[in-house]
Amino acid sequence: MPEPTVEAMADVVTVTAMTHVGAVREQNEDALAIGPVVALEVSMAHAVTCTMDVRRPFVVAVADGLGGHAGGEVAAAHIVRGFAREGERLEELAAVADLVRQIDAELTDEAARQPSLAGMAATVAGLLFTPAETNWFNVGDSRVYQLDDRYLGQLSVDDSPLAGEPGAAAPVTHVVTQVIGGSGTAIEVHGGPSTRHGCWLLCSDGLTDLVAVSELEEVLCSSQDDAHAVKRMWALAMNASGRDNITIVLARRRGDSGEKS
């Protein structure tokens, strides 16, 4: 796929994102954070692109509110607001895990105060960019992939009772074994280091439940730019029923020498 044009005067991350209600749901319970900016309860007609300078840490994250539970959109919004607010202070994965557990406690407390929000919860997948490194993390079944040449490899760990065949669309169970908020139990935050520079795909299960990895790889390798790739992936999910909210984020990090990935 032709590379986006970026004048890399410093270490930068180019983020292209789209979040959409899908074809069936009445409300978008997905939310996303790109550094200090959040997108909540919106349905985008087109992908948006921004470039972030990595002089300070920041997080790119996708949160997916649990459908069928009260306040799924509230939980997702609270999660991405937390990452937007605290991102500059998150210098390592341990700090991300601490923040996730803090948010989990806040959601549990809020649900106890407001019975109408009982059980509200969300999954999350994200990337922590710092000047020194790039790290991935997730809770639930929202996913992080990394593009290596023409191969899209999953970094995140699905908290799901079933595992799908490699390269297939995810098994549609609507059951996750870990979420942020709602469970009342201690959660394990999956995470690890990635390459410092590269290309990553973050998404909610509204994409991966419907579109096989092989199809995503073909799109990434044949699209004219990242905005085109994101729109094509969204169209594949919509054509496969679009039964859930769909959030797709592509992030590319380049070095201060202008290297491309």
Per-residue confidence band for 161, with pLDDT thresholds at 50, 70 and 90: confident
DSSP state letter for 183: S
Q: Is the pLDDT of residue 231 over 50?
A: yes
Across 200-216, average pLDDT = 98
DSSP-derived secondary structure letter, 196: S
DSSP one-letter code for 81: H
The two structure tokens encoding residue 25: 């749901």
- Structural domains of the chain in order of their starting residue, each with its CATH number: 12-254 (3.60.40.10)
Question: Is residue 170 pLDDT above 60, yes or no?
Answer: no
- pLDDT tens digits, 27-80: 999 999 999 999 999 999 999 999 999 999 999 999 999 976 679 999 999 999
pTM (predicted TM-score): 0.90
Considering Cα of 126, then 128, then 134, then 137, what sign does the dihedral take? Answer: negative
Quote the pLDDT of residue 2: 47
Over residues 237-244, mean pLDDT: 98
- Please compute the mean of the pLDDT values over residues 216-243 and round it to a whole number: 98
Amino acid at 146: Q
Q: Between 164 and 203, whose confidence is greater?
A: 203
Q: Cα separations (Å) of 6 from 25, 55, 88, 256?
A: 36, 17, 23, 12
Sheet of strand 198-203, all strands in order from the earlier edge strand to the far edge? 48-53, 12-20, 246-254, 198-203, 143-148, 151-154
Place of tokens 């991300």: 96
